[in-house]
Amino acid sequence: MKFGKRLKQQIQDSLPEWRDKFLSYKELKKLLRLISAAPKILLNGSIGYGKDVAEFMYLLNNEIEKFNGFFVEKEEDFIIRHKEVQQRIKRVVDLWGPNGSEPSEVDYKEEMEKIRKAIVDFHGEMVLLVNYSNINYTGLAKILKKYDKRTGGLLRLPFIQKVLEQPFFTTDLISKLVKECESIIDSVFPAEEEAERAKEDIIVAGEGIFKNTVAALLTMQEMRKGSSTQSPFSLPPLNLPDSDLIQSIQLNAAVPII
Q: What are the tens digits of pLDDT across the range 164-173?
A: 999 999 999 9
In this prediction, residue 43 carries a pLDDT of 45
In this structure, is residue 23 part of a structural domain? Answer: yes
What's the Cα-to-Cα distance from 32 to each of 52, 64, 78, 192, 258, rounded to whole Å?
Answer: 8, 18, 36, 55, 17
Tell me if residue 43 falls in helix, strand or coil: strand
Q: How many CB atoms lie within 10 A of CB 234?
A: 18
**Number of domain units in the chain:** 1
In this structure, is residue 219 part of a structural domain? Answer: yes
Domain that holds residue 115: 15-224
In this structure, is residue 230 part of a structural domain? Answer: no
Residue 46 has pLDDT above 70, yes or no: no
In this structure, is residue 5 part of a structural domain? Answer: no
pTM of the model: 0.79
In this prediction, residue 121 carries a pLDDT of 87
In this structure, is residue 62 part of a structural domain? Answer: yes
**Residue 75 confidence class, pLDDT cut points 50, 70, 90:** very high
In this structure, is residue 143 part of a structural domain? Answer: yes
In this structure, is residue 10 part of a structural domain? Answer: no
Closest to 168 measured CA to CA, from 124, 198, 135, 142: 135
In this prediction, residue 218 carries a pLDDT of 60
Closest to 235 measured CA to CA, from 179, 155, 168, 164: 164
In this structure, is residue 118 part of a structural domain? Answer: yes
**Residue 77 confidence class, pLDDT cut points 50, 70, 90:** very high
In this prediction, residue 152 carries a pLDDT of 87
In this prediction, residue 89 carries a pLDDT of 94
